[in-house]
Amino acid sequence: KNQVEQSPQSLIILEGKNCTLQCNYTVSPFSNLRWYKQDTGRGPVSLTIMTFSENTKSNGRYTATLDADTKQSSLHITASQLSDSASYICVVSGEYGNKLVFGAGTILRVKS
Amino acid sequence: DGGITQSPKYLFRKEGQNVTLSCEQNLNHDAMYWYRQDPGQGLRLIYYSQIVNDFQKGDIAEGYSVSREKKESFPLTVTSAQKNPTAFYLCASSMGVNGGLAKNIQYFGAGTRLSVL
């Protein structure tokens, strides 16, 4: 069964600290993996997208890594800001990029 | 939320009533999608459309209907057959389902929160 599991479910960190969110998937065949940021009550916004051959992709303070052999990805946030408080969703594409499998998300709260 | 507009932001449905959620995009995208989001769960695909006048069922299409008469518009009707409609509904669009990674990035609207009275 195609699944995407994210951990932790929720996380609280202090402003300025770094954090890493995890994503494990069983989707096969694999096309690409995406990380989205979703603010409360809003639609998700794409942060990064990686194909099988890419190990890392950065977008500002966000860095995503992908290990296609172990089917794991992580999203590292550097020097967190209050505006980073959101749900971070890992999404894996299994065929041609149109059929997506969504993780339940990690809720991040950054405190001052 | 780019060029995707969902309306209304909040919607209430009475017992036995059909309600329609609007989704309009001005990105000239071919493909459009409807998802349902429930607390603690990943987004689930309701319907998607790759081209005007064509659409396919997603994983949870029962109790929902769609139309794609115009490229810009992909309305979702939640029918009375959907017994548990309370959820956050997200519409998305992408350039196309085939032919390259960039074309498959989905852009989401701001969502419609549907509740039952």
Tell me the pLDDT tens digit for each residue of A40-91. 999 999 999 998 889 999 999 999 999 999 999 999 999 999 999 999 999 9
Secondary structure E strands in B9-116: 10-13, 19-25, 31-37, 44-51, 54-57, 64-66, 76-78, 87-94, 107-108, 112-116
DSSP type of residue B45: E
Return the amino acid letter for A56.
Answer: T
Q: What whole-number distance in Å separates Cα of residue A92 and Cα of residue A94?
A: 6
Question: Distance between CA atoms of B13 and A17, rounded to whole angstroms?
Answer: 44
Low-confidence ranges of chain B (pLDDT < 50): 1
Q: Is A32 on the interface with B (CB under 8 A)?
A: yes
Query: Is the Cβ pair A97, B111 closer than 8 Å?
Result: no
Cβ pair A104:B42 closer than 8 A: yes
Cβ-based contacts of B4 with chain A (< 8 Å): 43
- To test the contact with chain A by mutation, choose from B89, B106, B112 the residue with the greatest count of A C-beta atoms within 10 A, namely B106
Given an 8 Å threshold on Cβ–Cβ distance, is A89 in contact with B43?
yes
CB pairs under 8 A between A and B: 64
Locus of tokens 């498959």: B104
Cα dihedral sign, B93-A49-B60-B78: negative
Is A43's CB within 8 Å of B101's CB?
no
Residue of B nearest to A51 (CA): B101
pLDDT of amino acid B55? 95
Whether A49 sits inside 8 A of B105 (CB atoms) is yes
Residues of chain B that touch chain A, judged by Cβ-Cβ distance less than 8 Å: 1, 4, 6, 31, 35, 40-45, 48, 50, 88, 90, 92, 94, 97-98, 101, 103-111, 113
Kindly report the CA angle at B95 between A21 and A38, in degrees rounded to 5? 30
**Which residues of chain B are within 8 Å of residue A45 when distances are taken between CB atoms?**
108
Give residue-wise pLDDT tens across range A10-46: 999 999 999 999 999 998 888 889 999 999 999 999 9
- pLDDT at residue B100, as a whole number: 61
**In terms of C-beta density within 10 A (0-12 exposed, 13-18 middle, 19 or more buried), how is residue B95 classed?**
middle
pLDDT of residue B22: 98
**Tokens found for residue B12:** 């209430």
Short-list A46, A28, A19, CA closest to A109? A19
pLDDT in tens, B9-35: 999 998 889 999 999 999 999 999 999
CB contact under 8 A, B90 and A98: no
